[in-house]
Structure 1
Amino acid sequence: MTAVTTTAPATARPRPVADVVTMVRRSLLRAVRYPGLTIFLVLGPLVVLLLFVHVFGGAFGAGVAPGVTPGAEGRAAYLDYITPTLLVLTVVGGATSVATSTAMDAAGGITARFKTMAIAPGAVLSGPVIGFLVQALAALVLVLGAAVAMGYRPGAGALDRLALLGLFVLLGLALNWLCVAMGLNARSVETASNAPMILLLLPFLGSGFAPVETMPTAVRWFAQHQPFTPVIETARGLLAGGAGPGGAVAAQAVAWCLVLGVAGWAWARSLYRRERRL
């Protein structure tokens, strides 16, 4: 009698690159099937753009550009001033959507299911980060196109545009990692959708909508030392064609992005490895 030997099937091994691509595709397909979050990325900044330029711009423009006459000239000056801010807000809006999406996966047991599969752990978290970054970059093009249609004329050259793209990619990755961690840490989807609201408020407490020099002392100090002011000033300078605050402020912007990104990545990684507490 011949003995029959059975060989156990080899355990499937994670393929990090292929797994990341799969998770990014999943994130983009979710955006197509549930377009509400993606539409918000564009509509939110557009509403703010129209409101601040056409309602407040005529008066505010005289404050951000000395010698400008209130009215049409003021609106044009204010459009130039806040367009970089709204591009930054578009990236922030994409990040807040990551928190909601991540919390939905965690609350629905999908994240726990992924842990039992032969998927590289980093891919489960990297997929939404990269997927929402792609959506944010697409939304940036639409928001910038709307600003140009309203009369905005950036003076950025090829190198300025490349540097600006790099800044937005770095900012998007940093904020997306931070919001993935917020989504994993949240007790519910509702909590996750509210947790990143501070990120949307910070540009209003910086140089996004008014020069920091016009603010009271305590507010001015906070505005000068919070993360979004150097990012907005760097974007403003690059869009103007390199005329801006200089390399020191750009270095601050990059440093803040790296700090937020590393902190968010480490926090998200720690939360993913820990069992979700119900």
Structure 2
Amino acid sequence: MTARNIRHTVRSPDALISTLALPIMILLMFVYVFGGAMNVGGGTFVDYVVPGIILLCASFGAATTAVSVSVDITEGIVDRFRTMAISRSSFLTGHITESLLRNMAATAIVIAVALAIGFRPTADPLRWLAAAAVLALVVVALSWLSACFGLIASSPEAANGFTVFAMFIPYISSAFVPPETMPSWLRGFAEHQPVTPVIETLRGLLVGTPIGESALLAVLWWGAIAVVSYATAQVLFRRRTRD
């Protein structure tokens, strides 16, 4: 099932290009259009903003799982799978595994572009590995959550609405500006939502800023989201494919 989904991605390069093009365009816009006006309290703006762009890339890419799951459900291909000697769990697991592989590859390309325009991480190989592990946890959790939306959506177009939500949330965090610069009524949400600890952890691992308890909060937040989303997706899939 994973190989099937990978073939679909390869045969639909427009979807892969859009997954890459949007984060890269946002990266270039923030660095070259807004970067000169940004003050992040020391260091270069590109070093500050790249961890947020990395998460934005992963979030947007993982959210597209909702669309691919909805397409399979609404087009009836799942009914054909049920007549074959295939584990019921493999359908969703294949989508999640493909999402993880696709998004980690897309993130590597975004990082390469960031390096080309001036991103200078200080991380050693162990910190790079830890950053990849944190990002993989977020992608898996968000992919399972996306699968839930794909299973309850009435059409792929409706499922596509989740990608807007996933892309919008990182903006209300520490991804692009410090939460201290936000209005007080917005600052509390920005500081205590699940995206901010991930960004602070990635920033600390890659460019050496203080991490504090962000790593623990990131694992707790996204570990819980992954477990709940996985269980919910299994229930929803059984209901959607019930005889």
TM-score > 0.5, shorter chain as reference: yes
Between the aligned partners of 1:203 and 1:141, the Cα distance in structure 2 is: 19
Structure 1 residue 240 displacement after superposition:
1.0
Q: Which shows bigger deviation, 178-187 or 196-205? A: 196-205
Question: Do the aligned partners of 2:151 and 2:240 also contact (CA within 8 Å) in 1?
Answer: no
Partner of 2:201, secondary structure, is: helix
Of the candidates 21, 25, 37, which is equivalent to residue 3 of structure 2?
25
Q: How does 1:1-278 map to 2 (within 5 A)?
A: 23-60=1-38, 63-66=39-42, 77-241=44-208, 243-246=209-212, 248-275=213-240
* Structure 2 equivalent of residue 71 of structure 1: none
TM-score normalised to the size of structure 1? 0.84
Between the aligned partners of 2:192 and 2:26, the Cα distance in structure 1 is: 24
Partner of 2:118, secondary structure, is: coil
Structure 1 residue 116 displacement after superposition:
3.2
Structure 1 residue 258 displacement after superposition:
0.7
Between the aligned partners of 1:100 and 1:275, the Cα distance in structure 2 is: 16
Between the aligned partners of 2:184 and 2:161, the Cα distance in structure 1 is: 29
Structure 1 residue 259 displacement after superposition:
1.3
Q: C-alpha root-mean-square deviation of aligned residues, in Å?
A: 1.4
Alignment-mate amino acid for residue 26 of structure 2: V
Report % sequence identity: 40
Residue-by-residue CA offset, 1:113-160 (whole Å, 9 max, x unaligned): 223322111111000101011011111111000010001110001110
The number of residue pairs the alignment matches comes to 242
Q: Which shows bigger deviation, 194-203 or 96-105? A: 194-203
Question: Do the aligned partners of 2:69 and 2:150 also contact (CA within 8 Å) in 1?
Answer: yes
5+ residue gaps, structure 2, are none
Between the aligned partners of 1:81 and 1:264, the Cα distance in structure 2 is: 31
Question: Do the aligned partners of 1:155 and 1:240 also contact (CA within 8 Å) in 2?
Answer: yes
Structure 1 residue 195 displacement after superposition:
2.4
Structure 1 residue 78 displacement after superposition:
1.2
5+ residue gaps, structure 1, are 1-22, 69-76
Residue-by-residue CA offset, 1:198-217 (whole Å, 9 max, x unaligned): 12111100111110111111
Between the aligned partners of 2:223 and 2:83, the Cα distance in structure 1 is: 31
Alignment-mate amino acid for residue 272 of structure 1: F
TM-score normalised to the size of structure 2? 0.96
Between the aligned partners of 2:240 and 2:110, the Cα distance in structure 1 is: 40
Question: Do the aligned partners of 1:182 and 1:196 also contact (CA within 8 Å) in 2?
Answer: no
Between the aligned partners of 1:107 and 1:244, the Cα distance in structure 2 is: 47
Residue-by-residue CA offset, 1:227-261 (whole Å, 9 max, x unaligned): 100001100100014x3222x11000011111111
